[in-house]
Structure 1
Amino acid sequence: MTIDMSRDRLTALDPVHDTWVRPSRTALPVVWALTRAAMLALLALDGTYPLGVGGVAHEVHARYAHWSATLAQGTFPTGDPLWQYPPGAGPLLLAPGLLPGLTYFQAFVALTLAADALVTYVLSRGDRDPRGAWLWTAGLPLLLHVPLARYDVEVTALAVLALLALGRSPRLTGALAALGALVKVWPALALLGVEPGRTARQVWGTALGAATAMLLFLALVFRAPLSFLHEQGGRGVQIESLGGTVLALARLAGWPGRVRYRYGAMEYVGPWVDGVATASLVLTAAAFAVLLWWRVRARRHTEATPYDAALCAVLLFTVVSRVISPQYLVWLLGLAAVCLTSRRTTQRPVALLVLAAAALSGLAYPVLYGDVMAGTWTGVAVMTLRNALLVAGAWISFRALWRATAGRRFS
């Protein structure tokens, strides 16, 4: 009798089955609509006080629209140093021009909101823990209006859909991850935690087949689909990256470096910059090796392992990257939300750190971006704290993933 009562009590306290979930699920569309309306209002006020330096919408108005016109002529933007995206980005940037009755900018924002709504819907479906949908719904507005003026929401949607489809259709997971990887590479990391065996063979086989087919199609439809590779090598150290924070602190101590607009971002130039960029590449290789080490050593697997591994991998590569743009937090929010849909996730503390980092990212850009560029104490403090949260999140994420799947110690 006591045991039965305990079980009933535990069931009543289960956040998925308790009655408090019902109003939460009901309120989710309302909160989503209100927060997205606020983001649209901020987008309309882009560049005005107190939104900082502005220019958030310029990416779509000028750059994306220009690239779309080039792509419509059957070629990728060869020779443009700002074109640094895999060929799958081409059809995505062409899509807004296909919507009738709207300007390119209006159609782009509409498609982004549609992708955002789709992510919210799939996160909240069925018996998934509603905390995942709530994290996405409440977390994305922390980046203010930036997500509406970048195509990272669409890319994140592909990764989220790929992970959540794994239990029902491994082949669909592989196809979606491949499509996402052809748009922005990182969704391929969604496949890292797939359990070895038949499922993994299905996922990776479909992913390779889908990627090959898509590349062949793009090569037939467009000229120079791989032109982006030439421009990637020239990237320096962005002021918002971890290496940029190191240089910003050195600048406060008297380092003579400067900030310059290069390759579509504000980057540091001056002595030591090449060394910091090289160190970033070395750390990227080290992160890849660490993840392979985990993959070999992992023995235990739960439904949450692919979710947790994806978040951990993207966090690691984000931390060591030469570039940490604000939209990178869109990726992390989406993956953290997927983790929270499972009650077996090990990443709940990491999700909170990602939320805090997103809030600081919205503060750094666009609100305080003038201070970040100038290297004031305020700007450096915000970026240092944001990047410290990401570093802490990466460490906690990997440690939790290792302990849950490979053992109690890193050995």
Structure 2
Amino acid sequence: MKTTGTRRSLAWLPVVWCLTRLMLLLFVLKVYVFPGPDVTSDVHVIYQGWYDVLSTGTFPLNDVTWQYPPAAALAILSPGLLPFLDYATAFFVLVCVTDLAVLALMTYAGRRPGRSLRGAWVWVIGVPLLGPTVYARYDVMVTAVAMAALLAGARHPKAMGALAAFGALLKVWPAMLLLAARSRSAWMSALAAGIAVTGVFALAMPGAFAFLTFQRDRGTEVESLGALVFHVARHFGWQGEVRLNYGSIEFIGPYVSEVSTGALFLTGTAFGWLVLWRLLARRFEQHTLADAAFVAVLMFTTTSRVISPQYMVWLIGLAAVCVYFPGSRMRLPVVLVLVACFVTVLEFPYYFANVVASDGLGLTLLFLRNGLLVAATLIAAGALWRATVPPATPAAARPRVSPADPADMPATAP
């Protein structure tokens, strides 16, 4: 029965993938128009503009929307591999090919003894839940590298470290994959790969680290957890505005800097919790590496000043790797993340005008999506802690050492 079920799953996976990805391609190629703002404008305008600058051998030093580590240049330049297509079409095709590579990887890995095809299904179902935005950003490429790193973690720690470092130089967050890495070779490999790739970009292209300043100056984006404060406050006379700032729609006005600082404080608290967990964790299983990475990225996504829709791709990828291990404790948080993905496509791009206007529908969608992320974060963190940190033994339960009986004391010479 198990073999029959596996065969049926293997047969349906490519069918569902083809149907859903065809839908995504039809939307990004504008054969059909998805409701809401044009999500492909980032590729047609911003990415292609960066491509023109990067092709000259320098980073976009005067563009505050460039907020990515140096290896991101490779993703932006990749459409040049398909010179027979225009830039945007080549980009969409490459993202689709990467998506297919992830499916192949998860299917191959899921057929191993003691593993599951649930991970492949989470990827196949989760990606289209985000709508066409997922194919109009380079996050699928980054997530593919991160997933390959986690899958390599148990058997090939050096490969895992190198892939995590490369992923971090594409978009920072894959550095958190190393959180539960116990092998020194993984850390050494990550350090060596990071230094090598960073050194090449620093020497070859000016402005490799300009992104640090641009990222530091970001405010509170309208879809973030902290933005809920201002969405509600607008109904009580808050004198602020919504404006395109640093490449995203942000709140500008009184108390925005304080809320942004509060978000940074929450992120710092999350980091402190993760450090404490790592110091106290004692029970490590094969799935712990993936579970810990999922929890860490959930925490940093939920507390961030910006929760762009494409951030959800990261969570889908890590969720897929978690449930690939049958023993993972992350099943409920994975379901919550998938539901949050569906709500995300409703708040952007479908009803984004309502979100920007802070009306009842926009507020409901944001409270629901961010609430699901908060719930998933708390449940996942609790499950990780219980599975890996041994409970403290109460003082009353500790064995008591009774004072020695005088008769048992060795005799001493007078």
Task: Sort the TM-score into its range (normalised by shorter chain).
Answer: over 0.9
CA 1:149 to 1:253, structure 2 compared with 1: closer, same or farther past 3 Å? same
Which of the numbers 114, 130, 154 marks the counterpart of 1:143? 130
Deviations 1:351-381 (A, max 9, x none): 0000010001011110000000111110011
Q: Which amino acid aligns with 1:192?
A: L
Cα–Cα, structure 1 residues 122 and 409, in superposed 2: closer, same or farther, change >3 Å? farther
> Sequence identity, in percent?
45
The correspondence of residues 206-355 of structure 1 with structure 2, limited to 5 A, is: 206-355=189-338
Please give the per-residue CA displacement for 1:162-206, whole angstroms capped at 9, x wherever unaligned: 000112211110111000000100001111112x3xxx2010100
Deviations 1:247-295 (A, max 9, x none): 2122223322211110010000111111100001111111111000000
The AA in structure 1 aligned to 2:63 is D
Contact 2:58 2:205 in 1 (8 A): yes
- When normalised by structure 2's length, the TM-score is 0.92
After TM superposition, the structure 1 = structure 2 runs for residues 50-65 of structure 1, keeping only pairs within 5 Å, are 51-52=35-36, 54-65=37-48
Paired residues in the alignment total: 390
Q: What are the within-5 Å matches in structure 2 for residues 124-135 of structure 1?
A: 124-125=107-108, 126-127=111-112, 128-135=115-122
- Is residue 152 of structure 1 aligned with residue 152 of structure 2? no
- What letter matches 1:404 in structure 2? A
Partner of 1:5: none
CA distance in 1, matches of 2:256, 2:180: 35
Partner of 1:31: 16
Contact 1:402–1:408, Cα closer than 8 Å, also in 2: no
- The verdict on how the C-alpha distance between 1:245 and 1:201 changes in structure 2, with shifts beyond 3 A counting, is same
Give the partner amino acid of 1:91. Answer: L
Deviation per CA, 1:380-403: give whole Å up to 9, x if none: 110111000000000000000000
Question: Paired residue for 2:411?
Answer: none
- Structure 1 segments unaligned to the other structure (5+ residues): 1-11
- Alignment CA distance shift 1:32-1:409 (3 Å): farther
* Cα distance in structure 2, aligned partners of 1:360 and 1:25: 28
- Superposed CA RMSD in Å reads 1.6
| Distance across 1 between alignment mates of 2:47 and 2:393 | 45
Deviates more, 1:251-260 or 1:239-248: 251-260
Structure 2 runs not aligned, ≥5 long? 395-414
* Larger-gyration structure (1/2): 2
Query: TM-score with structure 1 length normalisation?
Result: 0.92
1:169 alignment partner AA: H
Partner Cα distance (2:242, 2:392) in 1: 42
Are the aligned partners of 2:92 and 2:136 in contact in 1 as well (CA < 8 Å)?
A: yes
Distance 1:79 1:215, change over 3 A: same
Residue of structure 2 in register with 1:358 after alignment: 341
Alpha-carbon distance between aligned partners in 2 of 1:311 and 1:86, rounded to the nearest angstrom: 21
- Give the residue type in structure 2 aligned to 1:57: T
CA contact (8 A) 1:47 1:55 kept: no
The CA distance in 2 between the partners of 1:297 and 1:38, in whole Å, is 46
Counterpart code for 1:44 = L
